[in-house]
């Protein structure tokens, strides 16, 4: 048993409880913080879907975006915060409200800066590359209105199909959520935006 990992997880859980019960951090804010944490795996698909639905509320949408912009401001050793914030933003472009998507487009300069993000781990691995590539992928959508509309339309079709199957009683994975034109698989895996093939665990790809 890795006691350091157990200790880290315990500390995170205590901090989360303090945020919610003592500091009265709004639940949606905590959900975004959890989705963009430093843990070496991606956010759960159902959490992403909850965050996207919450953008229907103007107040919640403001909270969500404030957390994401703050995460993008993290640097160096907190590169996972940045990468995962970009992943959530990419998801919201496809599945959030049009207002939320427009707000992201208006702040594209914040994302453009991350195409130059650099960080080398002590072992010399360039994990900044992951952030740069994700930023470039998001910018490719932001800079092309037609592509953004296409991504949103495909995501809407996926959601309709997903909920249609759900309403018929057919078993489905509650952890799956549409992600652009492809799929996003939760837990420890990231789905490719170009399809539903799982390309490996977040930890394996991004920590080596």
Domain range summary for the chain, segments of one domain joined by + = 3-207
Q: Where are the alpha helices (DSSP H) in the chain?
A: 3-17, 27-35, 45-54, 58-72, 79-95, 98-106, 108-112, 128-142, 145-167, 202-207
Question: What pLDDT shows up at residue 159?
Answer: 85
- Please tell me the distance from the alpha carbon of residue 186 to that of residue 88, in angstroms, as a whole number: 12
Question: What pLDDT shows up at residue 170?
Answer: 46
Question: What pLDDT shows up at residue 205?
Answer: 41
Query: For 101-118, what is each residue's pLDDT tens digit?
Result: 999 999 999 999 999 999
- Please tell me the distance from the alpha carbon of residue 165 to that of residue 158, in angstroms, as a whole number: 11
The secondary structure element, H or E, covering residue 186 is none
Across the range 152-175, mean pLDDT stands at: 67
- Please tell me the distance from the alpha carbon of residue 28 to that of residue 55, in angstroms, as a whole number: 10
Q: Look up the CATH number of domain 3-207.
A: 1.25.40.90
DSSP annotation of 36 reads T
- Please tell me the distance from the alpha carbon of residue 139 to that of residue 120, in angstroms, as a whole number: 23
Query: For 47-89, what is each residue's pLDDT tens digit?
Result: 999 999 999 999 999 999 999 999 999 878 899 999 999 999 9
Query: For 169-203, what is each residue's pLDDT tens digit?
Result: 443 443 333 333 333 444 433 333 333 333 334 54
pTM for the complete prediction?
0.73
Query: For 14-24, what is each residue's pLDDT tens digit?
Result: 665 555 555 56
């Amino acid at each position: 048993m890795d006691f350091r990992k157990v200790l880290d997880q315990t500390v995170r859980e205590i901090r989360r409880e303090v945020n919610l019960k003592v500091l009265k951090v709004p639940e949606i804010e905590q959900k975004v913080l959890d989705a963009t944490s430093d843990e070496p795996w991606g956010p759960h698909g159902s959490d992403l879907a909850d965050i996207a639905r919450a953008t229907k509320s103007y107040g919640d949408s403001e909270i969500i975006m404030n957390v994401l912009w703050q995460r993008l401001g993290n640097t160096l050793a907190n590169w996972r915060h940045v990468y995962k914030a970009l992943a959530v933003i990419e998801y919201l472009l496809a599945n959030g409200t049009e207002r939320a998507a427009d707000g992201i487009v208006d702040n594209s300069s914040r994302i453009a800066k991350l195409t130059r993000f650099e960080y080398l781990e002590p072992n010399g691995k360039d994990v900044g590359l992951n952030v740069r590539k994700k930023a470039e992928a998001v910018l490719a959508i932001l800079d092309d209105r037609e592509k953004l509309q296409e991504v949103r339309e495909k995501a809407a079709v996926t959601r309709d199909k997903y909920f249609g199957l759900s309403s018929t009683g057919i078993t489905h994975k509650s952890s799956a959520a549409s992600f652009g034109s492809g799929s996003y698989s939760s837990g420890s895996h990231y789905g490719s935006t170009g399809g539903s093939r799982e390309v490996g665990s977040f930890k394996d790809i991004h920590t080596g």
